[in-house]
A and B are shown apart, each in its own frame.
Chain A
Amino acid sequence: MPAPAKPRLAVWKFASCDGCQLTMLNLEDELVALADRLEIANFREASSAVVAGPYDLSLVEGSITTPEDAERIREVRAQSRVLVTIGACATAGGIQALRNFAHLDDFRRAVYAHPEFIETLATSTPIADHVIVDGELRGCPISPRQLRELFSAFLGHRSPDLPTESVCAECKRRGNVCVVVARGIPCLGPVTQTGCGALCPSYHRGCYGCFGPQGSPNLPSMLDHLTALGMTPPEVTRVFRTFNAAAPAFRAAADRASGLSGAP
């Protein structure tokens, strides 16, 4: 009897910087073990040799910003048994979702010598706004540990262990002294999902919210807190308008801080 075929993996890129795909390449030695268990069938960041679909697992990086991509993601979905979005762009629209809160034409004219050649959507939207998504890895970029956990869960036919707790929990486990309480540094840790290993607070910086909103974020209280630390409404708006600007909870927080809406 022939050995059962290895599950086929595809990695797709939409509007993104490739950093999350690089996280996969950075698994280095473990990639060899992974290649023993999975057929890396379509991963252009790593190889131009492409095996046609369908695929058992598709990892999707990037957001939807063009009409072509809005169509292409449907094709990807149709060829994929399990589709997992990776990174802030794919899960929340990414930094490019800042266009959602401004006028696209202003950007187009400011950036391009020939704006007439640029055809793009007015918004940057997460993959889940377009197709059904089976799972997501947050982060800008994603965490290698969580990526590894995703592969291992997929291969073991189990749910991945991806906690939705706050960054604070990881800070406390690491033994970091809280930068907010001990130094008065604004930090998005209390409303941000864990996964990075509390990287920035470990270097005495406040959390920038790369992993998006935690499982049960209390943004109204967070806004009061940031204001009490001395941040102005434009500053508060700005800290929520970064990599996860279009994540609903962060978007509502920024809107509320900038006076756009009554309550998140």
Chain B
Amino acid sequence: MDAGSEGSQVLRREEFPRLFSALEDAGYQVVGPTVRDGAIVYDRLHGVDDLPRGWTDRQGPGRYRLERRGDDALFGYNVGPFTWKKFLFPPRERLFTVQREGGSFTVVPEPVEAPLTAFLGVRACELAGLAVTDRVFQGGPVVDPGYAARRSRVLLVAVQCGQAGGNCFCASMRTGPSVSGGADLVLTEILGPGPHRFLVRAGSPRGAEVLSPLNLPPAPEEDERTVGELLDRTTRSMGREMDPTGLRDLLRETLQHPRWEEVARRCLSCTNCTLVCPTCFCSTHEEVPDLSEEKVERWRRWDSCFNLGFTELHGAPVRASGRSRYRQWLTHKLGTWHDQFGTSGCIGCGRCITWCPVGIDLTEEVAALRVPVAPAGPPGRTA
């Protein structure tokens, strides 16, 4: 690695296509943000023109709108309805096929397609999310072969956020807005003063390899300062906050809090919060036989703890009430996740707030749970 790639370098906006080409020259297909159907989604990109130039997203509880910015920012938005998870843990995936052969059968494994892929535009919170799913799918004794194969072929190109969204609280969860590690390349977009440009630094040897043919000039010290100020401003403008201290204990101690009943009155049990969450990983399996019963395919599909079928045992669900399901989700995400995986399951991206049709805001729910309830009635008669 040469000295230049250790610090930041400057990539001018008009040279951004060179970075794109460098990724493609290194063999990566690029996926990243693009405008589709009124939102910024992650999809295959074929060039810089596919990026959401001049667009931003305005978010509130249960609300998302694309808006025009007054500038040509390429990454001037926060997070959309989808996550990188879908590329590593597909919504529906065939796992294997069983073929009948006379009186016996053979199991035909599903080949895993894992093309070299660059994730362009990964936010700091999303890097934390990927660290969580890495732990879930490949950090234990059982490794998910599909996830692991795809993940090993991914190059992470992070872009630090130049602004915070209405439902962002990564600063509370200590996952952003600055990227501290886990990315192969880290970009920060500087819209001014001076020319529209990016500060780029390599976070790994692979990242440095992609960057090196570009021969970019080192960044002047004032640009580093500008980036620092930008990130400070982003930190100060978080739309939401959630005090993460003692969350694990709080959730363990508030299982009978009346707030659960209250939130269950609003919760639609629609599963949106779990399916937009970058760290929710639940799935179920289905067997799909052909009508001749000569072969059967096993598929895996995303599932959610808000579904009745999720806890169905002996013909009835264990968590029959909306209250028990919402409580399960939140106590797992913010509490027992620590016991299971050693971290919080929440990265502070705010997607569950935005994409909940009725705008349930977990930061508000947690704040409500922190309000102690006056003990009422004899023991055993809790709410």
Contact = CB atoms under 8 A, between A and B. Distances in A.
13 contacts: A30-B291, A33-B290, A151-B291, A152-B290, A164-B309, A166-B268, A176-B37, A180-B357, A182-B64, A191-B270, A215-B309, A218-B267, A221-B266
Interface of B: 36-39, 41, 62-66, 81-82, 86, 91-92, 265-272, 275-276, 286-293, 301-302, 304, 307-309, 320, 322, 325, 354-355, 357-358
Nearest to A168: B270
B272 A168 contact: yes
Given A173-B301, A181-B357, A34 B291 contact: yes
A93 interface: no
Contacts of B325: 216
Contacts of B286: 161
A129 B98 CA distance: 41
Nearest to B320: A216
B166 to A, nearest CB: 13
A168 B275 contact: yes
B270 A189 contact: yes
B81 A177 contact: yes
Given A161-B286, A177-B36, A177-B37, A166 B271 contact: yes
Contact of B291 (A155, A181, A220): A155
A256 to B, nearest CB: 14
B302 A218 contact: no
A151 B65 CA distance: 44
Given A180-B357, A220-B265, A204 B290 contact: no
B276 A172 contact: yes
B284 to A, nearest CB: 8
Number of chain A interface residues as a range = 35 or more
B269 A216 contact: yes
A165 interface: yes
Given A173-B91, A181-B63, A182-B39, A166 B269 contact: yes
A236 interface: no
B164 to A, nearest CB: 19
A70 B361 CA distance: 50
Nearest to A159: B315
A215 B289 CA distance: 25
A191 B306 CA distance: 13
Contacts of B357: 168, 178, 180-181, 187, 190, 225
Contacts of B267: 218, 221
A211 to B, nearest CB: 14
Contacts of B266: 218, 221, 224
Interface in A176-225: 176-178, 180-184, 187, 189-191, 204, 214-218, 220-222, 224-225
Contact of A182 (B81, B91, B307): B81
B291 A190 contact: no
Contact of A33 (B63, B292, B309): B292
